[in-house]
Amino acid sequence: MAQAQNRLNSSKMGEMPEGRLLLSMAIPMMLSMLVQALYNVVDSIYVARVSEDCLSALSLAFPAQNIMIGLGTGTGVGVSTLISRGLGAGDPKRAGRVAGTAIFLSFCCWLFMAAFGIFFVDRFIRSQTDIESIRAYADSYLRIVTVGSLFVYLEISAERFLQSTGQTKLSMWTQMIGAVTNIILDPIFIFGWFGLPAMGTAGAAIATVIGQAVGALVGFTFQLRRNRELPILLSEIRPRGRIIGEIYRIGFPSILMMCIGSLTNYLMNIILIGFTSTAIAVYGVYFKVQSFFFMPIFGLNNGLIPIIGYNYGARKKDRIYRTIRYAVLYASVVMLLGFTVFQLFPKTLLGIFSPSDAMLAIGVPALRRISPSFLFAGFCIVAGSTCQALDKSMYSFLVSILRQVVVLIPAAWLLAQTGELNNVWWCFPIAEVMSLLASAFFLRRSLQKMEKAIG
């Protein structure tokens, strides 16, 4: 029965109508991503009740935390693509070897981030601010989440295994259970309920690590008991140079894009703190709130990549084209909703973070000036993921370089020279327009090369 169900989950990626298939694959992941966004926001809501300095501290920790997540998700892009291709080409043994290698890489990523957490966190935070209270909060939070990062890498690996074989509902439950655990534990550790000491940002970090551990446990339980199409033997959990090379040939541009995003956030923090630390708090709140609209698009892409990967392996180009069209349509609808909410209700969005009058004065115009970028972002994200699934990850990397390094930060710095903080926020729409033009160009090139490859 289990094997028959797994064969059905795999074959549907080559047979089910594309629009319905994409929704069936993506909606569970979009819902789980929304829960992920919710727990990120809940962290900040509780921390904001401690002080605005705590909220600013999370913004300073975010660039390094983003790299931590980027290592896992970028590796996952390569793993998911290779597993889907192996299954699409009728080679489940190769898919199993890829999965075993992915588990080995999870431990490697953890060792790297744990070393950063032990030896370099203090220098990283001090390079952004000299405000001692903010530094102390950021240091304790970031040190804990990096040293405990093994569980996030294992959780991401388990989710990718399930997604690659069409088990998106199980992947959704993996993320949701981990996220809900985090949400429940947040106030207990932050405020010191049930006799525990109040730990502030350190408590938020502990809740995060425990939630990730629970998610990893649930994910691998599903993988071992329900995902018979992708068996993983202990003997397969070892390094394989060729497979590692293939994983990172596909996924490394995605990791670099996350690193570039972290560098962008790091430099933006430095630019904004030149005005006031409250601007950093607003910037952090923006990233938390916008995740309610961007995270579902990332969930959509998590459904899109295995579909394209499977049909690329099966040489079904018409299905690839139709899947891309549906993905752009769905992403554009979500982004239009986000733009509308940011334009009409910025004060309401900020209000959930216990804002000061100064924070509202900065935040309301900031959200309204940033949100036009949403109108272009949906297409850009889908185009980038399509390039990755078609083994043209470098194109996504080049677009990210253009958007953030060539346009966004220089535009922010130049606008900051006007001496008016409100002008700085326009750098986001400016950068997204350039990203749109580049994304369209590279998507076209990727599809042309796909045509030549599969005929």
Task: Find how far residue 372's CA is from the centre of its chain.
Answer: 21
Q: Which stretch of 60-69, 75-84, 360-369 has the lowest confidence by average pLDDT? A: 75-84
Distances (CA, A) of 193 to 188, 196, 331: 5, 6, 41
CA–CA gap between residue 59 and residue 65 (Å, rounded): 10
Question: Which DSSP letter does residue 372 get?
Answer: G
Residue 360: exposure state from Cβ atoms within 10 A (0-12, 13-18, ≥19) = middle
Single out the residue of 63, 55, 37, 57 nearest to residue 409, CA to CA.
Answer: 63
| pLDDT tens string 401-445 | 899 889 999 999 999 999 999 999 999 999 999 999 999 999 999
0.75 cut: is pTM over it? yes
| Position 319 pLDDT exceeds 90 | no
Over range 147-154, report the average pLDDT: 94
DSSP-based three-state secondary structure for 23: helix
DSSP-based three-state secondary structure for 353: coil
